[in-house]
Copies of this chain bind each other. A is one copy, B any other.
């Protein structure tokens, strides 16, 4: 199994390293890292990893800024990531942490770390343990924050 990890020089945290370290705890898949300048470079970078490097899955890691233009870039990147998946029939797990999700840098760092790690486990589960995801269906999972749980 091969996992592609795409991140950016724009982000303020080395998200790629966090993801790789976490994935290595759970599996021995080969990991290929690809760093691009910004968010909007992620879709094609992921597609190159899935198509040319024959990765089985990819992660797209980024930290959109707080300005309206950043929000729009994130939207464009997300559409590209969805479209890249449809063209390859493989998953790309998007991990975007918006700069304005936290009040201070310390909290932001923690959120980046936690969300990245939790999504790294999602990647492992999609590759090796799909039944675990089914078991958690509808349980209100939240990556980076407390899970909200199921309602009745």
Residues of A within 8 A of B (CB): 7-17, 33-37, 40-41, 43-45, 47-48, 51-52, 69, 72-73, 75-87, 89-94, 98, 105-106, 108-109, 119, 122, 126, 130, 133-134, 136-143, 148-152
A12 & B150 in contact (Cβ 8 Å cutoff): yes
Cβ of A2 to closest chain B Cβ, rounded Å: 17
Interface centre among A8, A13, A86, A89 (most CB of B within 10 A): A86
Residues of B within 8 A of A36 (CB): 91, 126, 133
Please report the C-alpha to C-alpha distance between residue A73 and residue B152 in the assembled complex, in whole angstroms: 25
Which residue of chain B is the closest to A83 with respect to CB atoms?
A: B86
Check A9–B133 contact: CB distance below 8 A: yes
Residues of B within 8 A of A89 (CB): 44, 47-48, 51-52
Closest residue of chain B to A46 (Cβ to Cβ) is: B86
Contact A82 B77, CB 8 Å, known A9-B139, A11-B140, A37-B93: yes
Q: With a CB–CB cut-off of 8 A, which chain B residues contact A48?
A: 89
In the bound assembly, the distance between CA atoms of A50 and B73 in angstroms comes to: 23
Kindly identify which residue among B12, B15, B109, B137 contacts A9, using a CB–CB cutoff of 8 Å.
B137
Contacts of A47 in B (CB 8 A): 85-86, 89
Residues of the B chain whose Cβ atoms lie less than 8 Å from the Cβ of A106: 151-152
- A37-B93, A83-B86 known, 7 other contacts, Cβ within 8 Å: A12-B148, A16-B134, A17-B137, A33-B134, A35-B136, A45-B91, A72-B78
